[in-house]
Structure 1
């Protein structure tokens, strides 16, 4: 009977774990859909902002032409929590293979997410800033804080890069390195260029340009953070879905084993009873 009791307890434990992984799977899908919808709205918004940049392009005084020391900032974005498959591992491998130890040692590092912060600290590196709390509820405030950080650092650094997992597809998360500053050069479509001459600028164009580039920088930061969250939630959904399916298979196997043992016990007891008469 002790074996039956042990199997029954294991069945109960696995059933509880299955409920947890199933709930996490649903939460991940809900979060993924919500953030992805925000990303789509953000991309549409950027499409309407870029023509304004085209109108100001001739007045543009690029900050890239300023002489600055050859230093750069690298922002690493991981996850706050685990249970997301190999989401963090592929990011760690990308850092190992594409960023040299010398580059890490000479760059100013900013880490976002507990997992990547722990990884960087294990390399005996001290991040300039670290943000361990990173989830969908902190994206907006974190983007604002990051903007303040990189605006300050850009005065003494020539480039600011970001390493994060990009959601290539729902099932594939691809490590990627992007430049946050200087911003990429946007080209205006020919069909839109004719309409841009009709813009009336009540304010000084230089002031509008400064405000617009600051706004685009914030949008770029918010976009990168959101893409990382989308990739993380997709990886977590896949991991939890696999765990739920494995738990279901294990439950069926253990339930079958339990029934066989129970039936064998009953048969044995009936045999003993019948042989006593």
Structure 2
């Protein structure tokens, strides 16, 4: 059995860690409420353009030979398995696409998923991966910069991979296709052209469509990144809550172990005193 001093030191250490995780939970709770307000305020801005594309006749772009996956993860840890689950989703999709003959390129926003994916998919990374995206509050300007990098080189297909917030204890990695200029020009169904041809455009139709495409991509990334941020904060709240509860359980077990050891030591000393007195 460990010495009483060692048990006492470990009790203090675990209790201090419990205080830290409890404080981190409180901080995450405050950040979650703030980010949730930003997400709800940003949805009316980002959703209409995305829903406009979703209402158009479905377009199958799976035949196009190249795919860029924009992975939206976090730069900070201690939020459970949210980043590892996202990385696993990306690996599965990348392998599936490559087996179908598609060239896959990864663009990571956030260091955690990037570190996890480099082990197996390191040679698929583009030069435009980003870290410390959340060093300043995420805004549409940052989303536009990410969209510009995602559209660089005019990839045939773009998928945005992010964590979708479901509840305070549940989130889901989603792999969402985003229509690209090449896809619209090459595999868009005839209904798209018929709908557009009903109107006269100035400047020409495709120039307007290209501008809308850039705005649409930025809106998609903006909304999905905000969704991922609140998923991260809720996961961190749950992780810190579990860590605090585990800390309390460990302290209780160590306290019981310490009391038993102290009682055994007292009993031993009493027996020695009684035995010595009897010998006299």
CA contact (8 A) 1:163 1:177 kept: yes
**Contact 2:29/2:233 (8 A) holds in 1:** yes
Q: For 1:169 and 1:249, how far apart are their aligned partners in 2? A: 26
How big is each residue's C-alpha offset from its partner over 1:215-247, in whole Å with a ceiling of 9 and x where there is no partner? 443332111111111111211221111111011
Tell me, which stretches of 5 or more residues in structure 2 are unaligned?
Answer: 54-58, 185-201
Counterpart CA distance in 2 for 1:102 and 1:178 is 14
Change (3 A) 1:161 1:102: closer
Partner of 1:81: 76
Aligned CA RMSD, in angstroms, stands at 3.7
2:109 — aligned with what? 112
SS in 1 for 2:24: helix
SS at match of 1:179: strand
Q: How many residues align?
A: 248
Superposition deviation, residue 50 in structure 1: 8.6
- Partner of 1:153, secondary structure, is coil
**2:243 maps to what in 1?**
243
Question: Who is 1:199 aligned against?
Answer: none
Aligned to 1:217: 217
Moved more, 39-48 or 19-28: 39-48
Contact 2:73–2:228 (CA under 8 A) maintained in structure 1: yes
The alignment's TM-score, normalised by the length of structure 1, stands at 0.74
Note closer, same or farther for the CA distance 1:117–1:225 as it changes in structure 2 (3 Å cut): same
Report the CA distance between 1:2 and its aligned residue. Answer: 7.0
- Rounded to whole Å, the distance in 2 between the matches of 1:175 and 1:164 is 6
The corresponding residue for 1:44 is 44
Q: 1:179 to 1:215 in 2, by over 3 A?
A: same
Change (3 A) 1:38 1:115: same
Cα deviations by residue, 1:91-130 (Å, 9 ceiling, x for unpaired): 2332333332653971332012222212332224241122
Cα deviation for residue 146 of structure 1 reads 0.5
User: Which residue of the partner structure matches residue 125 of structure 1?
Assistant: 123
The Cα of 1:162 is off from its aligned counterpart by 0.8
TM superposition shift of 1:251: 0.2
Contact 1:171/1:234, CA 8 A, preserved across alignment? yes
Counterpart among 172, 175, 182 of residue 174 in structure 1 = 172
Alpha-carbon distance change, 11 to 235 in structure 1, aligned in 2, over 3 angstroms = same
Say which SS state the counterpart of residue 125 (structure 1) adopts: helix
Q: CA deviation at 1:20?
A: 1.7
- List structure 1 runs of 4+ shifted beyond 4 angstroms: 46-51, 203-216
CA–CA separation in structure 2 for the residues paired with 1:99 and 1:50: 24
Would you say the 8 A contact 2:50–2:219 is kept in 1? no
Q: Secondary structure at the match of 1:79?
A: coil
Cα drift, residue 87 of structure 1: 1.1
Change (3 A) 1:46 1:106: closer
Work out whether residues 136 and 229 of structure 1, in 8 Å CA contact, stay in contact via their aligned partners in 2: no
